[in-house]
Structures are given as structure tokens and as C-alpha cells.
Amino acid sequence: MSIFMSVNSNLQSVLAYNKIREDILASKFPPNHKLKVKELSGLYDIGVIPIREALSRLESEALVAHVGQTGFTVSQISKEDLKSLVETRILIECLALERSIKNFSNKWEEELVLAFHRLQRTDRVLQVNGVRAINRNWIAYHHSFHLTLINNSGLPWLNKFCSELIDHSTKYGVFITVEYPNLGRESAKEHKELYESVLARDSESSKNLLKQHYHASIEHILKFLTK
């Protein structure tokens, strides 16, 4: 295999990963949905080898599960998993947020201002042909805002882990939004209060607001999970 073929294969694998991940987080592929390699290959016009590589990478991040001979599926959701996920986020992200505020810089402030305003001016749900649908731009901006809050920690591995936890929380939140589009929870005020507290460099208040935000989110989602 030439170096050019190798580079192209890697690019295709990354493209497949990004597309499948986005469709999982947007709940186009809901929890427990079977992910068939040939179908995905046709859907994205990407070869089966890059698709398999992408699915294996998503499996390593626990967004996808591989069960025996049945192939790949979107990982399941449950009340216990959600509770564990949120408590882990609180423990890890409060540490990262505290370090980020301690390392406060003009560059980080500019990034946070941009991330917040992008999120605030983007509707979470859109009307598409008379049907309420999740706004994929909102998913991306919401992830960016929460990641920016903690990515000034000075610990790249911590930031990477937090990013993966955000993805898993997104899967829960978006799934509930898609299933119950008229029963969403308004979180813009919580984001604004958290943002303002961080800009004020109030570490304790910011951590408390982050905890309250996550607890309110989990309480809302748990109302709709059956098991």
C-alpha cells in the first residue's frame, strides 16, 4: 500500500467516525440501534473498512457496543448508567473548572465568550416541515461551551476525558428531546449564570452552579427513562 492510499484510508476512517458519532449524538441512531456496516457504507458513501475502523473507535469510547455475533449497536441507556455518568462528570469537571479559573487568561476568556454567545443565539429545537427536530448546531455549540469551561485546566488528558463524558450526556439529553420534543427543559438561564460566575472568577460559586445544572438535567431525564 502506498503512503497516499494509507493517508486516504485514514481520512476516510476519520470522516466515518465523525459522521456516525454525529448521528448517534443527534439520536438519528437511538440507543440499542443496530449499526450494519454495509448500510452505513452506502449511507455515507465510505468503504466498509473505514466504517469498521470508525465503529471500533466508537466502541472504545463506549458510544457503540459490539455484542458477540450480532455486530455493532448504539450503546444502551439506563437510569443507573446516567446517575453514574453525571456524578462522575461533577467530580471530574469541578476539578477541571477550578483549575481553569485558577489559570484564567485573556485567551481563555475570549474562547469562553465566543462559545457562550454561539450557544445562546442558537435554538435547541427547530421546526422542520411542521415537525420539531433537534438542532445539530446546538448540539455542537453546547458541547463546545461545556468543554471550553474546563479546557483551561492545563491537563490535556483530563480535558479529553471530560469531552467523552459530555458526549455520553449529550446522547441522553438529545434522545429525550427527540422522543418528547414538547417537554424539553429550558437551560439557557443556567448556562448564563454559570458563564457569568466563571467570568467573575468565583470558583466556589461556579462549581456549585455546575452541580446544580447537572442535577437539574438528570432529574428531568430520569422522569422519562423506564429502566
pLDDT in tens, 185-218: 788 999 999 999 999 999 999 999 999 999 999 9
**Is 0.85 surpassed by the pTM of this model?**
yes
pLDDT for residue 158 = 95
Distance (Å, rounded) from C-alpha 131 to C-alpha 144? 26
**Intervals of CATH 1.20.120.530 along the chain:** 79-222
| pLDDT bucket at 2, cuts 50 / 70 / 90 | very low
pLDDT for residue 126 = 85
Instruction: Identify the CA nearest to 178 among candidates 124, 127, 134.
Output: 134
Which fold is adopted by the domain 79-222?
A: Four Helix Bundle (Hemerythrin (Met), subunit A) (1.20.120)
CATH number, span 3-74: 1.10.10.10
**Could you count the other beta carbons within 10 Å of the beta carbon of residue 145?**
21
Distance (Å, rounded) from C-alpha 221 to C-alpha 141? 20
> Burial level of 93, CB count in 10 A (0-12/13-18/19+)?
buried
Q: Which triple of cell numbers denotes residue 18? A: 465523525
**Intervals of CATH 1.10.10.10 along the chain:** 3-74
Distance (Å, rounded) from C-alpha 53 to C-alpha 59? 10
| pLDDT bucket at 8, cuts 50 / 70 / 90 | low
Average pLDDT, the chain: 91
